[in-house]
Copies of this chain bind each other. A is one copy, B any other.
Amino acid sequence: MNPKIPVISVVGKSDAGKTTLIVRLIPELKRRGYRVATVKHDVHGFDIDHPGKDTWFHARAGADVVAISSPNKLAFIEKVQNETPLDEIRKRIKNVDLIITEGYKREDKPKIEVHRAAVKGPLLCRPEELLAVVTDEPLNENITSFGFDEIESLVNLIETKILTDKD
């Protein structure tokens, strides 16, 4: 297994459509036989466990790590002191061919920026940081661009540029 799973980051302003793009990319990648992980960068904190469940009681009692295992799903929730670097998260993910992050615009991974005319202002990233832009309006920048429906073409680019080392 490749010890360094390739990573691409889908970045963009709030409501530009990061989740929308990711949920379109995943089925096309799966159709082509790839196993895919996603990593959501949540700067505010999140609640993933349900109050009243046993695992929620474990966490509330002070458990540093809470795992839950069933025949079709396995989950780990751990308390951390600081945000975990993306490369550390990558090391913890097994058995996938590609990791797609939602966010992580400041990390050094290949990026796809999503842009919508309704969300004003310039792109977040400099052209040289971007593998491509997904946009609903023509841009003046000299960057490979796709519409939100050109998923197959975008996955072709991901295959060519990112997944070429697939074993």
**A residues with CB within 8 A of B:** 19, 22-24, 26-27, 30, 35-50, 53-55, 57-58, 60-84, 89, 92-96, 100, 102
20 pairs, CB–CB < 8 Å, chain A vs chain B? A22-B61, A24-B61, A26-B61, A26-B63, A37-B66, A38-B67, A40-B55, A40-B67, A40-B68, A42-B70, A46-B53, A48-B48, A65-B95, A65-B96, A67-B89, A69-B84, A72-B80, A72-B81, A75-B75, A92-B92
- Using CB atoms, name the residue of chain B closest to A49: B48
A142 to chain B, nearest CB (A): 31
A72–B80 Cα gap in the complex (Å)? Answer: 5
Chain B residues near A102 (CB-CB < 8 A):
54, 58
Chain B residues near A71 (CB-CB < 8 A):
43, 45, 80, 82-83
A115–B158 Cα gap in the complex (Å)? Answer: 56
A146 to chain B, nearest CB (A): 18
Chain B residues near A62 (CB-CB < 8 A):
26-27, 30, 36
